[in-house]
Amino acid sequence: MSKIGIIRDGSITVNKPVKIEFINRITTTVNTIKLHYTPGAFPGSNDSEIVVLLDNPNSFAYTAAYIRERVLKWIGEGLATSTVLTLNDYLGDLVVTQIGVVGSQTTGKIIAAADSAAACVATPNIDVALDFSGGGAPIIGTGIYQVSSAPESQPLAPVAAGTYALLIGPTQYFITVNSVSNISSIEVCPLLLDFVYNLRDLTAPITEPDPNAISFGMRSNFPFGPGTVNYSAFYATTGPTDAPPFEVCGDFGPNTEIYGPDNFYWPVGIINNATQNVPNFAVEDVAFGLQLADKNVADFTNAQLFISFDLNANAGVVEDATFVPFVIQPNANPVFQGSPGGGVPGLGDGSPIFDPANAGAPGFNGLFDIFQNGLFLPSGSSLIGTANFTDGAYCDYDKTTGVINFVQDNTCLS
């Protein structure tokens, strides 16, 4: 029979059993205990490390070394007896506020906020982890604690009782944290976008400047194989669909202009230059949104892309429309939630495979293979903050997350 010890979780007043004979390393600070297990002792990756958060009333008296000594005593005596011993009984005035298992957490950011109105426009900047996984919103009772910056995300301390703005991925919440570092109330914020690019307002020819002229790089040669249709063939283009269409500053070569005849990015280049199957966004309801990492800082890095298929159906009112993260996965069908054809209206035939002839193309992953990582964003000002971009930008983004990785050129485009 396994040797079991108990840790009493103060956040929910529950005794949690711990298999003490598999612990092979202990790490302590003045407010944390980490119990590291022998690799492979348990199936899966979620049982490799247990983290115990502590409320320490006197870190000079209760040092990391003292805490380590008490944990070792608990383990040693627990292995030597048939009685199940409780770690809390060895810790004196130290209070266990939370117990979590590394691997089953979700990371996010918080910042103090007085009420929901303040929380929903705040910019969270303190790294936290929450004891849940699988996506969606955390439930009432979810543990939350401060951690070191990603990717390590090592536990540092409980979150003090109070009200906060919480950001998880692209979704922001107003939360209340109780005295034992649990979420006791949660309210989802409406999606606030810094920029909205409504393709309905793109009419040929698109000339500089145009606030709706978001444009994506495309791979011209997917899918491979006979009897299939690639991007260039569908639109009858001959230009560079996946080369950056930015203006070269200075005297380093000819311009490749986002609004000119040398650009075949979608949709701007196609609207201006395709000779067949040109999309008509007067009838195709497609819009994109962008949420800056900080609405008051003019930097596209780490901004989140969204897509919508009902903005115009809702009279152009962003609050009434549905915007979902611009995330593309291989062979996804539909690619985006709410897509009328599974793909993007006006891109190919609007389906995930771009054209019916591609249904049987070997090794073809639909729109995942069509989209490149190049992205042009026009100049403009945040709708909700003070960030102002006097020039457009050529960016690199991650199509699996919809997050902009970095800006390659932010001074030559307008």
pLDDT in tens, 114-148: 999 999 988 899 999 887 777 788 888 787 888 77
Indicate whether 412 pLDDT > 90: no
Output 19 or 111, whichever has higher pLDDT.
Answer: 111
Strand order in the sheet with 23-28: 23-28, 32-37, 49-55, 95-101
Model pLDDT for residues 354-407, shown as the tens digit of each residue: 999 998 888 899 999 999 999 999 999 999 999 999 988 889 999 999 999 999
Residue 252 pLDDT? 37
Distance CA 291, CA 294 (A): 8
Strand partners, 17: 6
Distance CA 234, CA 258 (A): 20
Distance CA 249, CA 413 (A): 9
Give the closest residue to 25 by CA, choosing from 43, 41, 14: 41
* 139-153, 178-192, 247-261, 306-320, range with the lowest pLDDT: 247-261
> Could you tell me the pTM of the whole model?
0.70
CA distances from 236 to 217, 231, 239, 276, 327 (A): 16, 8, 10, 6, 27
Average pLDDT, the chain: 86
Instruction: Quickly list DSSP for 159-203.
Output: PPSEEEEEEETTEEEEEEE-TTSBEEEEEEPPP--SEEEEGGG--
Quick one: how far is CA 96 from the chain centroid?
Answer: 31
388, amino acid identity: N
**Average pLDDT in the 304-329 region?**
94
Distance CA 189, CA 204 (A): 37
